[in-house]
């Protein structure tokens, strides 16, 4: 089977939730004997690779502008895909899905993955929100098959588009824990004496709430924010200024590979104060490192079955401050670690996800509609 992939900025080592999803998924599908071609946005690419881990890479230029880059790139990628004559084209996210009817008009079989209602993100103006809602609708109506990563998104597809979908969660790799600490040492951090948040610097991630809550505590530890903005704007600039007002707060910028591995491994508590998520890979990664987590009580986070004390009311800074203090001094007991490990292996296993995704491709190829 030949599969052409678009809707992502690209792989490997390109920050983003969809990008992390694709980086884990497609080498596994390629290893199953399928030909996989991933279209990358050249403005995000820092290498000269033409293939990686069995996956072919095709770089296509698009302007690096958040309001138009995904749609323009997907349009160009679909034209490129036509030349490759794939059995199926897989389009990720609802913005790029606005091009699904175009792909169908060219005779392509299309699978989409809806990673979440991006129009709920606070960074978008009302025009962008309407475009994203249109993309969700057109993708849901015209794709041959639909993959969703949570029950919440499945209900949206059912209600808005009258379509059933395939629920395939995001996955996580259980890491091999390592005592290596040269990177955290370089940041002046002590193992198990800092709180970690890993996210892009956009309003819906709620990092401003986390900073304000942390500043209200008397905790003798550091807060590490691993991430940055894809496109620098007033919010991200203000967030950095807010962080700079407390010497206990450390900004790492975007990090990946061993640096990110160390940051997770040595953290005492992971916090995700988001107002919006699809199904947060960062949360699954934190759980895989067997560290305590504290997350907002939005539907996507509640879909990951954690004990009640790991949630707080979204946007409630006072409660977040209280929970930071109480959870930082606590530890995950052996029984809870076993619960989490079993949950991750059962529901978020990448090999299983790859097999289920190929099954959706096969169904799409056979579709008559």
Please report the pLDDT score of residue 122 as a whole number: 63
pLDDT tier at 16, thresholds 50, 70, 90: confident
In this model, does residue 128 exceed pLDDT 90?
A: no
Q: Are residues 248 and 133 in the same domain?
A: no
Residue 86: CB partners within 8 Å, gap ≥ 6?
2, 3, 4, 37, 108
In this prediction, residue 241 has a pLDDT band, given cuts at 50, 70 and 90, of very high
Q: What is the mean pLDDT of residues 74-90?
A: 97
Within this chain, do residues 118 and 55 fall inside the same structural domain, yes or no? yes
244 and 326 belong to one structural domain: yes
Give the pLDDT confidence score for residue 116 in this predicted structure. Answer: 81
For the chain, the domain total comes to 2
Mean pLDDT of 25-54: 96
253 — phi, psi (to 5°)? 75, -175
Please indicate, yes or no, whether residues 216 and 162 belong to a single structural domain of this protein: no
Strand partners, 98: none
300 domain-assigned: yes
Same domain, yes or no: 254 and 159: no
Higher model confidence: residue 174 or residue 352? Answer: 352
pLDDT at 121: 66
Specify which residues 225 forms β-bridges with.
197, 251
B/e letters for 320-335, b = 16+ CB within 10 Å, e = fewer, are: bbebbeebbeeebeee
101 CB-contact burial (10 Å; exposed 0-12 / middle 13-18 / buried 19+): middle
Measured distance CA(210)–CA(138) in Å, rounded: 36
Domain shared by 14 and 153, yes or no: yes
Q: Rounded to an integer, what is the distance from CA 153 to the centroid of its chain?
A: 15
**Which two three-digit tokens encode residue 54?**
């069995």
Task: Answer yes or no: is pLDDT of 223 > 80.
Answer: yes
> Positive or negative CA dihedral for 309, 312, 313, 319?
positive
- What is the full DSSP assignment across 225-283? EEB--SS--HHHHHHHHHHHT-TTEEEEES--HHHHHHHHHT-SEEEE--S--SS-HHH
Q: Which domain holds residue 120?
A: 2-171+349-366
pLDDT at residue number 123: 65
Whether residue 11 is found in the same domain as residue 140: yes
The reply to whether 149 and 45 lie within a common domain is: yes
pLDDT score recorded for residue 271: 97
The per-residue b/e assignment along 179-208, b for 16 or more CB within 10 angstroms, e otherwise, is: eeeebbeeeebeeeebbbbbbbbbbbbbbb
Which residue is listed with tokens 């900025």?
9
- Kindly report the backbone phi and psi dihedral angles of residue 173, in degrees, each rounded to the nearest multiple of 5, phi listed first: -100, 125
Round the average pLDDT of the chain to a whole number and report it: 92
**332 and 221, same structural domain?**
yes
Task: Grade residue 235 by pLDDT with cuts at 50, 70 and 90.
Answer: very high
At residue 219, the pLDDT reads 94
* pLDDT over 60 (residue 369): no
Task: Tell me what pLDDT residue 284 has.
Answer: 92
The helices-and-strands tally (H runs, E runs) of the chain is 14, 14
For residue range 268-325, what is the model confidence (pLDDT) as tens digits? 999 999 998 877 889 999 999 999 999 999 988 998 989 999 999 999 999 999 999 9
* CATH code, domain carrying 243: 3.40.50.2000
Which pLDDT value is given to residue 119?
65
- What pLDDT score does 140 carry? 94
Q: Is residue 177 part of a domain?
A: no
Task: Say yes or no: 341 and 354 in one domain.
Answer: no
Position with higher pLDDT, 89 vs 129:
89
Say yes or no: 83 and 204 in one domain.
no
Tens of pLDDT, residues 135-192? 999 999 999 999 999 998 999 999 999 999 999 999 998 888 777 899 999 999 999 9
Confidence band, pLDDT 50/70/90 cuts, at residue 231 = confident
Report d(CA 314, CA 311) in Å as an integer.
Answer: 9
Are 243 and 316 in the same domain? yes
């Amino acid at each position: 089977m030949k599969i052409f992939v678009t809707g992502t900025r690209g792989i490997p080592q390109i920050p983003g939730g969809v990008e992390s999803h694709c980086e884990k998924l497609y080498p596994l599908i390629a290893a199953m004997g399928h030909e996989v071609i991933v279209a990358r946005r050249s403005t995000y690419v820092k290498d000269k690779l033409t293939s990686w881990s069995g996956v072919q890479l095709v770089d296509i230029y698009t302007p690096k502008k958040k309001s138009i880059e995904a749609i323009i790139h997907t349009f160009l990628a679909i034209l490129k895909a036509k030349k490759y004559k794939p059995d199926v084209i897989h389009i990720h996210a609802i913005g790029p899905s606005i091009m699904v009817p175009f792909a169908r008009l060219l005779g392509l079989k299309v699978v989409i993955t809806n990673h979440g209602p991006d129009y709920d993100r606070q960074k978008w103006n009302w025009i962008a929100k309407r475009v994203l809602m249109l993309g969700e609708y057109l993708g849901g109506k015209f794709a041959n098959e639909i993959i969703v990563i949570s029950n919440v998104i499945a209900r949206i597809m059912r209600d808005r588009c009258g379509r059933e979908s395939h629920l395939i969660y995001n996955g996580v790799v259980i890491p091999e824990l390592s005592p290596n600490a040269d990177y955290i040492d370089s940041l002046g951090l002590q193992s198990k004496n800092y709180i970690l948040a890993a996210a892009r610097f956009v309003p819906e991630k709620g990092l401003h709430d986390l900073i304000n809550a942390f500043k209200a505590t008397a905790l003798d530890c550091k807060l590490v924010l691993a991430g940055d903005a894809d496109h620098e704007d007033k919010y991200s600039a203000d967030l950095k200024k807010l962080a700079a007002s407390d010497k206990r707060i450390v900004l790492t910028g975007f990090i990946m590979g061993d640096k990110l591995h160390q940051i997770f491994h040595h953290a005492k508590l992971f916090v995700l104060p988001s107002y919006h998520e699809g199904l947060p890979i960062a949360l699954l990664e934190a759980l895989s490192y067997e560290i305590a987590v504290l997350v907002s009580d939005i539907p996507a986070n509640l879909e990951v079955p954690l004990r009640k004390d790991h949630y707080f009311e979204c946007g409630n800074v006072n409660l977040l401050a209280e929970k930071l203090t109480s959870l930082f001094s606590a530890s995950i007991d052996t029984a809870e670690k076993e619960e989490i490990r079993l949950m991750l292996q059962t529901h978020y296993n990448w090999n299983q996800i790859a097999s289920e995704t190929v099954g959706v491709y096969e169904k799409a190829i056979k579709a008559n509609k």
